[in-house]
Structure 1
Amino acid sequence: MAKYLLLKHYRGAPEPVNNVPMDQWTPDEISAHMQFMADFAGRLEKSGEFVDGQALAPEGTFVRYDGEGRPPVTDGPFAETKDLIAGWFIIDVDTYERAVELAGELSAAPGKGGEPLHEWLELRPLLSLPSNTGE
Structure 2
Amino acid sequence: MRFMMIVKATQDSEEGIMPSQELVDAMMKYNEELVKAGVMLAAEGLHASSGGIRISYPEPGGKPQIMDGPFTESKELIAGFTLIEVNSREEAIEWAMRMPDPHGRGEGVIELREVIETPELTSNPDSLALHAQLRDLGRPKS
TM-score by length of 1: 0.69
Does the CA contact (< 8 Å) of 2:4 and 2:83 recur in 1? yes
Residue number in structure 2 paired with 1:32: 22
Aligned position for 2:82: 89
Higher helix proportion, which one? 2
Q: How far off its partner does 1:31 sit?
A: 1.6
C-alpha RMSD of the superposition: 2.9
Alignment of 1:8-23 (within 5 A): 8-11=7-10, 21=12
Equivalent residues, number: 117
Residue 17 of structure 1 is matched in structure 2 by none
Deviation at 1:50, TM superposition (A): 0.4
Letter in 2 for 1:8: V
Distance across 2 between alignment mates of 1:110 and 1:32: 11
Give, in angstroms, the shift of residue 24 of structure 1: 9.9
User: Gaps (5+ residues) in structure 2?
Assistant: 126-142
Runs ≥4 in structure 1, deviation > 6 angstroms?
none
Please give the secondary structure, in 2, of the residue aligned with 1:108: coil
Secondary structure at the counterpart of residue 82 of structure 1? helix
**Equivalences for residues 1-135 of structure 1 within 5 A:** 2-11=1-10, 21=12, 30-59=20-49, 60-65=52-57, 67=61, 69=63, 71-78=64-71, 81-106=74-99, 108-109=101-102, 111-112=104-105, 117=106, 119-130=108-119
Deviation track 1:54-86 (CA, whole Å, cap 9, x = no partner) reads 1000121111246555x4211224477334300
Deviations 1:21-79 (A, max 9, x none): 35697x7x62222222222111111110100111000121111246555x421122447
Task: State the alpha-carbon separation in 1 of the partners of residues 80 and 124 from structure 2.
Answer: 33
Shift, 1:90, TM fit: 0.4
In 1, the alpha carbon distance for the partners of 2:40 and 2:21 equals: 22
Q: 2-side partners of 1:87 and 1:124: how far apart?
A: 14
The answer as to whether partners of 2:16 and 2:48 remain within 8 angstroms in 1 is no
Counting aligned pairs with the same residue, the percent is 27
The 1:24/1:7 distance shift into structure 2, 3 A limit, reads closer
**In the superposition, relative to structure 1, how do residues 33 and 107 fare at CA in structure 2: closer, same or farther (>3 Å)?**
closer
In the TM superposition, residue 107 of structure 1 has moved relative to its aligned partner by 5.0
